[in-house]
Amino acid sequence: MLAEFRERRDAIVRGLNEVAGVTCRVPHGAFYVFPNVAGLGLRSSADVADRLLNEAGVAALAGTCFGAQGEGYLRLSYANSLPNLEKAISRIAAWSSRLAPLPTGR
């Protein structure tokens, strides 16, 4: 099981890091990742979580569920099958590609 969860963890971290506007560090415990989604340019992590659920069919918790310092982050579980995790990453990537481009400075 340890090897299976390592594979799932590595797949979700790799997949999230390939999404423009998202960065994700490798977690060192539990079955969760805490990606930074501030680069998506939306109002809040709660907005990102709500839109992911309603527009992409992917459930995530806003980082602010864990305190104010969690703003800009989401919490996603990888306690699921690898095919389902790959499907979620694919949905997140497709959804984020439809967001309006971020401003490029002044």
At the topology level, CATH places domain 2-97 in: Aspartate Aminotransferase, domain 1 (3.90.1150)
For the chain, the structural domain boundaries read 2-97
Long-range contact set of residues 15-19: C-beta below 8 Å, sequence gap at least 24: 15/85, 15/86, 15/89, 15/92, 15/93, 16/76, 16/89, 16/92, 18/89, 18/93, 19/89, 19/92, 19/93, 19/96
Residue pLDDT, tens place only, 59-89: 999 999 999 999 999 999 999 999 999 999 9
Instruction: Supply the pLDDT for residue 106.
Output: 46
pLDDT band, residue 49 (cuts 50/70/90):
very high
